Each structure stands twice: as C-alpha cells, then as structure tokens.
Structure 1
C-alpha cells in the first residue's frame, strides 16, 4: 500500500465522496498552537531567527558608510551601559583612586576603559554621524550635478524626518506611561496618577513638550522629557536636521572650493557663537564632503614607481619611491593619535574633573563661550569620527556582524533601555546587593557583572522587537505616506 502524502486540503478536494472528519476541537487547538508558535517565534531576536531558518541567508552587501552604522550601534550600547552603571554603582563614575567610599577603585574607572560606560560623549558622536549620513546622498548628487534629483531627495528627507524621529519616541513614552501607572516601572522620571485618564493626559502634555522643544534648536533650558529623559536629543536631532537641509540646498550650486570655504565659515561662526550642536551636524556634512572628494581621487597620490623618471642616482630613485610610503604611515599615525586623544576625552568623569590628570588641563582651557566638558566632547567626537573615515582597519572592525547588528537596532535600543531598566532594577538590584554587596570591591564587580548578565539579554530582545514592530514599520509608513501625498508630474 502506497501512503498518500497529499496535503489534507488537496485530498479533500479530490476525494469529495469521503472527506476527512476532523473534530472541531482539534482544529481550534491546532490553530491556537500555530498562533502561539508564531508569537513565540516573533519574540526571538532577529539574529536567532535567521539562524533557525534552514535556508542560507543571502549575504547582505554593506554600503560604503556601513561602518558609521556600526559606530552608532556601539555608541547606543555605551549609552545603555552608562545609564545602567550610573544607576547601579555610582562610584564607578568617579575618578580612579578618589571618592572610593570604603573600597578600592576598580580598573573599570581607568581612562580609556571607562569609555565603555561613558554615555555623554556618545551623544555628540550621534549628532556628527547624523550630519554625515543625512548629507552624504545629497552631496553625491551635487558632485554629479543631479540638481533635480537633489531637490527630490531633500524634499523627501524633510517630509519624513519628523515621523522618523518622533513617532517611535511618542510610542515609547506611551508604553512607559502605562508601565508607571500600573506600577510596573518606578516613578523616578514621571509621576504616577490615580486614574488612567490622568496618566494619559500627562503623557499627552509630555509629548507636546517634546515637540515644542524642537524650536529651541540649541537651547536646552526646556525640561527633560518625562518618562524617558534620554529623549532630549530627539528635538535637537530634528531641528539640526532642518538646518542641515537648508545649508545643503543653499550651497548646492556653489563650486566645490566655494562650498568648502562657506561651510567652514558657517561652522566657525556657529562654534564661536556657542551653537555646538549645529557645529556637529554641519561638521558631519564637512567630513562627508571630504570623504566624497577622496573617493573621487582628488587627494590620492598619483605617483607610481612604474611612472617615475629614470634618475642617474639609484639612491635618489629609492628615496622618491619611499615618499608615498612615508606619507602613508605618517597620515595613519596622525589619525591613530586622534583616536587616542578622542577616547581620552571621552573618559571624562562625571564629577571632580579637576582632580584627573590631563582632564583638568582641558577643563582649565575651555574656550569661550563654553563651560566644562561639552565642547571637549564635541572635539573628541570629531576626532573619532574623522579618524574612522580614514582608517580602514577601524572600518573593518565596525563592519563586523555585532556592531552592524547593534547599528540596526541602535535607535530602538536608545529608546527602550530606560524603560527596561526602570522596570527591572527595583526588582533585581536588591538581590545583588543582598548576596554580593556593594561595599567591597569584589561585591561591586559581581553586582555590576551580574546585573549585565540579567539586563543585557532582556534589553537586546526588547530592542529587537521594538525595531521590528515599531521602528522599521515607522520608516515604511513615512515612505507610504509620502507616496500618497506627493504630486505626480503631469505628462506633456
């Protein structure tokens, strides 16, 4: 007897005289099981889903600036690490060897190492990368004289920018408002109201406050958004994006050297005028312009050993051959020193900077009209991003799978990590304090590592889900809405 492997539906169609009798409860249970399986599979992070699929995934070719996505992902991860460390073990934000509170300092507090949990410099890296990425395509079109395509690109960017930035942010605050109201999250950032309607009214007012802060541009006197203070960067991103688009369109018809000089003049004017975030966005545009010029071989050496003229002296010929190599290694050393200096500045402690070697020198020589660390974070971020565009071995590091994955979920990770921490920390940290303690060096290290072991997988999973369920659909929705709203050109 040959077993019939035909699907049940096909068998039912072909054999209408003897349809299979399937009990209703089995159909219900089978449908429910499949639904639960789909839900469970959807909760698994995307990189695990790809591993579970037996079909080999197609190799995704990285775009030319993918390494900046990797840097943005690592920076977003460091923001999470910083907020976690500050709230769990505030001692680690102090300088090494000072304010130890009964236990010796940790190696985690040493310069360069502490960059792992220094969130403040990362914000400036975000802004420079945003300026670079937003300007990259329009500048390519300017270089190729595609001015008609440029207007379409900038029009699309302006149309979609607010939705791209604010819609996921408002959804995040909505979830956090519900968490606060139902006592799932503590109320360290926002008050809890007795009725849900009052809570939603407060959330709505907070949303409007976040939107109104876009008018401030560089003025941070607006109160930090309740429910998620990390969202103070979103209005800055939006306002500076608009300034960037205006600058691009205003300089689009200039010849390259004039555009360079005018852009540099605008950046200098903003810097000495105290408009630091504008400096970072326009500085990202400046780095993008330099990168495009390098790709066009304007700055690449043209000398080649095969094209050298025949000199009488072999020693002279050898020296000429060595010149490009010396210039190459000298340039490489220059950019490596920039990375080292940028990372040292990023090691700036939250407090008592005047007691840290090197940092107190920078702090004492802060240029007017700035005060403290912010301007130095800006300059250090320029050193890091600029060096990354020049050092191929660093680009290779940030093009590896982990930084690229963090780059994919970077915005979601930035938005949801505070939500997860406010829910988990009040419930989990007391256990670590009880069993490991936080008064000894060993206890603090065990508490710090133990908290990471618990929080990190959860936060990555939540960020991955938010990326797939909110962030990516927001991008698609903005494109769909734009397609519905734009005018179609009339046929002549």
Structure 2
C-alpha cells in the first residue's frame, strides 16, 4: 500500500511559478523586437538613455524572458519526477509502472499540442494573416500565401520535425521560433527518468550525492539546461526524503537561533537567484556581471551559453528556496496566478502567433491614425512619445484577452485531452485495456 507521501497533492506553487514565467516570456516576445531600453543593462551607455529603475532587479524580471526558460526546466525536472519517486520505496511495482508509463506518454503530452499549434500557424500563414519569408535552409521554398499546397505541406512537415531535432540539413524557426525549447523538454525529461531508474536501488543519502554531482558536472561542462533539469530532480528527492522522515516521526524542531539563521540564509539565496535571473542577455558582459572576474568556467567559451549558465544557477536558487519557504510561495498560490499556471503551456505555445498576426498591425494603425506616419517614423520622433505609449497600450489590451481566451480553449480542447489520448494509446499498445 502506498504511503501518504505517494498520494500527496500536487505542489500548486509550482503551477503558479510556471504561469508567471509563461506570462513573462509572452511579454518578452511582445516587446523585445521594438523596445530597446528594458533589454539593456542599467549601466549601458549613453547614460541619458539608460539608468531607468526598470533596468534594475527585481523590476527587470518583467523583461527576463530568456531566463524564464531555465526556470521552466527546473520546474519540469521537479514536476516529472516527484510523483514517481514517492512510490519508489513503498510500492515498487507501482513505481515501475508509473515510470514506464511516464516515459511512454511524455512525447504524446508534449507533441500533440505542438502539432496542433504547427497546423494552426501554417494555416494562418497560408491565408496571409502574417508575413514570413523563409531562409534558404528552412525547407519552405515556395510556401507563399494562397499558393500550391505541396510546398506548404513540406514546410509544415519540416516545422514539426524541427521541434523533434529530426529535420536533417533543413530547419524551420521563423513563425515558431520558440519551439526550440520543446525538444530539450522531451530529451531531458527522458534523461531524468533514466536517472530515477538507474538510482532506484541506491541508498537515499548516496542517491542525493550522486544527483547533486551530476547536476554540478553538467553545469561545469557547459550544459546548464540539463543541469537545471537534474536540479529539479534533486529538489524532488530532498522533499520526498523529508516527507518520509516526518511520516516516521523523525522531524526535528530546530532552535530559534538555527531557524532564524536558516531563514536569513535562504532569503539571501533567493535574492541572489532573482538577481541572476535578471542579468541581461548581453555578450559584452556589462557591470551587472561583476562577479565574472572571480569565477570563470573553462567550458563556457560561448557568451550565450555562459549567460544561460548564470540564468540556470538563478533558476535553481529560486526554485530551491521557494520550496522551503511558505511565506515566499503565498503569491504563487493566489487564484489569478494559479489560473495562469493552468493555461501556461497553451500560453507559451500560442503567444508568438498572436504577436505576429496582431501586434504590428495595431501599432501601425494607431500611429497612422494619430500621427500620420508609420510606427518606425513615429518611434523616432521624440515629440510623439505619447502616441507610441498609446499604441503599445492598445496592442497589449487587444492581444492580451484574445491570447488568454485562446489559451483557455487550447487547454480544454487539446492539452487536457492529450493526456487522455496518451493513456488510451498506452492501453492500446500494452493491452492494459483488455
């Protein structure tokens, strides 16, 4: 019989954190191509174009779209493993069954919504809702609006294969540029499942050391995404071990001094994590990266990977401290944030389509109507700042509710049903339904 730990309800704060991260990514893609200042360092030159409060932590978190992806990965490492490892000691048969089921169903859970998105996006391209000009290596030659179907079918196929890293010499990123994250999500979820299986018979404390060493090793050798996933698994193992000790009456109440010291230390780690998540994606490494002169990792030659590494460390610190502090998690368990968590995957999938279809049209229309010029000209006219502000406001108000509504229906019609469909396919091929 499974213990109480194995049937513990899901961690709602993780859903809330995922929802906030998805909203920040959507806002990032909504603004990054046109708004320049929020994505520069506070210390960038010239000074009169910077030194704005929103360029400093923690306000800059609102524009930290790149680092939110690493936050997704730590959350995923925790989420895909916690319900499995809670069954490991008390119900080995159920543990093995859930592990194998999770491995089989993971691809369906991720790629059924992705396939539906690719079809919707390409239909939008076909009927001319947005303009996109594919490069020579994207395998989409001739995929023009209202043209022959064959090039469009080839482009759609190549787009989906790209999300699987199976597109060979061709790749398609243009209208689904954000889907590069899905292949990492799938591959490293499988890596986490493999680690769980490989360490299933190891003593708990040894298992923790091995997982921590794996995460540190991959971080050291320049694989911060995999390190983030494994860190999520480590947190799940720690929480499961703590729950097991509590159920056996082994909970030790710390003294007031120890508890206060631990709270202060955890708070410092949380603040440090937020700071690292707020680091700008700037390969010149402005003064925000002051600590780089003290710590140089030899395998981080590429600046982008180096910045991603610091973002991964920040994500690990934030998730690791949130799981220990109820006070910090309270905002993440509020109803609005939980709602964002419910639609987070759909929100992440859909937001580029709405941006490409609606944003530029609205910005251009408002600027032409109020200023008699296109958006680019209006943006470079200092006297028209209020027109630009109004144009962005109108675009956000128009796109936001539409995107949320579409995400709600996508969650109900596709995402939730993809879970059901994956179980049906599993029962069909395994004969469990007979």
Alignment of 1:348-363 (within 5 A): 348-351=279-282, 354-355=285-286, 357-362=287-292
How large is the RMSD of aligned CA atoms in angstroms?
2.8
Higher mean C-alpha displacement, 480-489 vs 110-119: 480-489
SS at match of 1:207: helix
8 Å Cα contact 2:159-2:173 kept in structure 1: yes
Matched, 1:480 2:421: no
Q: Which residue of 2 aligns with 1:118?
A: 64
Q: Which residue of 2 aligns with 1:73?
A: 19
**Of 326, 330, 340, which residue of structure 1 is paired with 2:257?**
326
Instruction: Compute the displacement of 1:234 (Å).
Output: 0.6
Q: What do residues 442-477 of structure 1 show as CA deviations (whole Å, max 9, x unaligned)? A: 555444433322221111111111111211111111
Matched, 1:455 2:389: no
Instruction: Compute the displacement of 1:84 (Å).
Output: 0.7
Distance 1:91 1:198, change over 3 A: same
Instruction: Compute the displacement of 1:399 (Å).
Output: 1.1
8 Å Cα contact 2:158-2:167 kept in structure 1: no
8 Å Cα contact 2:37-2:50 kept in structure 1: no
Q: What do residues 169-220 of structure 1 show as CA deviations (whole Å, max 9, x unaligned)? A: 12111111111121102216786423233112111122123223599xxxxx
Higher mean C-alpha displacement, 452-461 vs 101-110: 101-110
Gap regions ≥5 residues in structure 2: 1-7, 372-377
Q: Distance in 2 between matches of 1:416 and 1:262?
A: 38
**Of 163, 170, 177, which residue of structure 2 is paired with 1:210?**
163
Distance 1:449 1:359, change over 3 A: farther
Matched, 1:159 2:104: yes
Q: Which residue of 1 aligns with 2:37?
A: 91
Distance 1:331 1:143, change over 3 A: farther
8 Å Cα contact 2:16-2:338 kept in structure 1: yes
Higher mean C-alpha displacement, 428-437 vs 176-185: 428-437
TM-score (norm 2): 0.85
TM-score (norm 1): 0.75
Higher mean C-alpha displacement, 441-450 vs 148-157: 441-450
Alignment of 1:4-403 (within 5 A): 63-96=9-42, 98=44, 106-144=52-90, 146-187=91-132, 192-193=143-144, 194-213=147-166, 223=171, 225-297=173-245, 302-303=252-253, 324-351=255-282, 354-355=285-286, 357-362=287-292, 365-370=295-300, 371=303, 372-403=306-337
8 Å Cα contact 1:88-1:448 kept in structure 2: no
Distance 1:361 1:446, change over 3 A: farther
Instruction: Compute the displacement of 1:294 (Å).
Output: 2.3
Instruction: Compute the displacement of 1:103 (Å).
Output: 5.7
Distance 1:188 1:103, change over 3 A: farther
8 Å Cα contact 2:281-2:307 kept in structure 1: no
Gap regions ≥5 residues in structure 1: 1-61, 216-220, 304-322
SS at match of 1:87: coil
Q: What do residues 114-136 of structure 1 show as CA deviations (whole Å, max 9, x unaligned)? A: 21121111111111111101110
Instruction: Compute the displacement of 1:258 (Å).
Output: 2.0
Q: Distance in 1 between matches of 2:218 and 2:407?
A: 35
Higher mean C-alpha displacement, 366-375 vs 111-120: 366-375
Instruction: Compute the displacement of 1:324 (Å).
Output: 1.4
Q: Distance in 2 between matches of 1:385 and 1:160?
A: 26
Higher mean C-alpha displacement, 130-139 vs 437-446: 437-446
Q: Distance in 1 between matches of 2:16 and 2:276?
A: 21
Instruction: Compute the displacement of 1:223 (Å).
Output: 4.8
Distance 1:273 1:301, change over 3 A: same
Residue-pair matches, total: 403
Instruction: Compute the displacement of 1:236 (Å).
Output: 0.7
Q: Distance in 1 between matches of 2:44 and 2:97?
A: 56
Q: Which has the larger radius of gyration?
A: 1
Q: Distance in 1 between matches of 2:432 and 2:45?
A: 65
SS at match of 1:141: coil
